[in-house]
Chain A
Amino acid sequence: MHLVRFLVLVVLGSGCARPASSPGLDPPASRSSGLRYAFDVRDEIRTEVLGPDGTPVEVPGLAAEVLAWEGDLHLEYRRAFPDDSLGWLVQFGSVQATVDGLHGESSGDLGGLSMELRSFRSREILAVDLLDHLSGAPRHGDLLVPLLLALSPAVPEIPVGASAPRRVHLPILPEVGRGVRTAWDLTWSRLEDAPIADGGRCIVFHWNGPVEGEGGDGGPGWAARYRISGTATGDTCLGTQDYQVVSGSIQWTGTVIAALGARTSDGSYAKRGTLRQHHDWQGRLTRMGGRP
């Protein structure tokens, strides 16, 4: 009897019968299909350096910077997992990175690099895999990760004019023991459907709320502990025909506080100072074509 119960659960969770979900959230039948999005991101960063006692440290030449990226990315369903979550390939196409309008020192080339977004059918993000190939200086691909919330928005099922809270998670975990978990406590408001360029219409959501995060990082001889806090607001437009993202935008304003320290030979951590970076981050993406 227990075996039968187990098998029923497995089947319900894995294929012959699917849990009810909104149309369009199922993966496309063919792996060869995909969606291409144009994106741009602008991140204005102001940095402060604090000594071990919290006193500001003057660093000549450390001014506010504006980082910007412009490019395209490809989103494609690749696989399903036994927990009924789906693996989506997110691959950058050509990406132009600039600092204060100048090409060059900003970052390594992200073009062609990929990550895997694992989400439930509701688009709730569970994990972002392969981030170790994109994150950290000089590539700084981790600074683009908030775009994934626009790419995979876990919108609540609510009627036009209604609002509902829904917390979403965005883990930025490139390697074991290295990364930040962020939680976005968002209030989602469904607006009137809007016309889109191809003659169709889209379901429109506006959302906003506080963002919190914690984590750590480390390398040879150093370790960092992170706290992130801020607020975010954004808009999502889902096609009424296919329920896929037509466009999305995010603005998040917040601070990344990294307490940096030396990792001693016995594995302990000795705090040496703090790097506090304030971000005014704006990103948007727009579907370029292709149907799932």
Chain B
Amino acid sequence: MILLLFCTARALAGLTPMGDPPPRYLDEAAVIEGIEAGQSAIARCFPAGSPSVIVPVTLQITREGTVREVRLPTPPDPKRDPCLEAALSGLRFRPHDEPVDTWSTTLAWVDGALRSWPVVQRIPRPRGPILLRVPANVASIVAEALGVDPFPPPAAPGTPPPAEDRPTQDDH
């Protein structure tokens, strides 16, 4: 019986639960961890006495885990934004397999302290239907003929999202 229990424990140890994705790409936990590691630098961008504010931000994270581009809300805040851009550009995330992964989150400066914001969201890459190939030069014609447009617009790698996707300032 003891041998049986020993073998069972040994057999189950190290096995991966089904449905648990391998850590090849960034997930929410990894992004939150990266942001939280840079909290002190981010907090310095809100001087003492700063009013409470929430700042939606978008980060383009490279395969190596560095930040390639920071998008801050409009209208810009010329006093705060250069500091935030530097602090967010200095964040480090774990390396992953996407060439560039874009995530949005919110910085919350509330009652004189930077609060952890538990929600981060991947900005999905534009993608067309699976298993279908339609040349970009005729995609719009095909879409018109079909009466529905499932095809993503052609975009160069790393092209920022359209203006309507950019974060906007939302004072608390």
Contacts and interface: CB of A to CB of B under 8 A. Distances in A.
Interface of A: 4, 7-8, 10-11, 14-16, 43, 45, 47, 49, 51-52, 57, 59-62, 65, 67, 78-83, 87, 89, 91, 99, 105, 108-109, 112-114, 116, 129-130, 133, 135-140, 142-143, 172, 174, 178-180, 215, 217, 219, 221-222, 224, 226, 228, 256, 258, 260-262, 272-275, 277
21 contacts: A8-B4, A11-B8, A14-B12, A16-B11, A49-B146, A61-B141, A62-B134, A62-B141, A80-B16, A99-B135, A112-B99, A129-B21, A130-B24, A135-B127, A136-B128, A142-B131, A221-B148, A222-B148, A262-B147, A262-B148, A275-B146
Majority-rule SS of A interface residues: strand
A107 to B, nearest CB: 9
A277 B154 CA distance: 21
Contact of B145 (A57, A140, A228): A57
Sorting the interface of chain B by its residue count into under 10, 10 to 19, 20 to 34 or 35 or more gives 35 or more
Given A80-B16, A82-B12, A83-B18, A61 B138 contact: yes
B152 A87 contact: no
Given A59-B142, A142-B130, 20 more contacts: A11-B4, A14-B8, A61-B141, A62-B142, A87-B16, A99-B135, A109-B99, A114-B97, A129-B22, A133-B98, A136-B152, A137-B128, A138-B126, A138-B154, A179-B130, A222-B129, A224-B129, A258-B131, A272-B146, A273-B148
Contacts of A140: 133
B21 A130 contact: yes
A156 to B, nearest CB: 26
- Among B4, B25, B99, B127, find the residue whose CB has the most chain A CB atoms closer than 10 A: B127
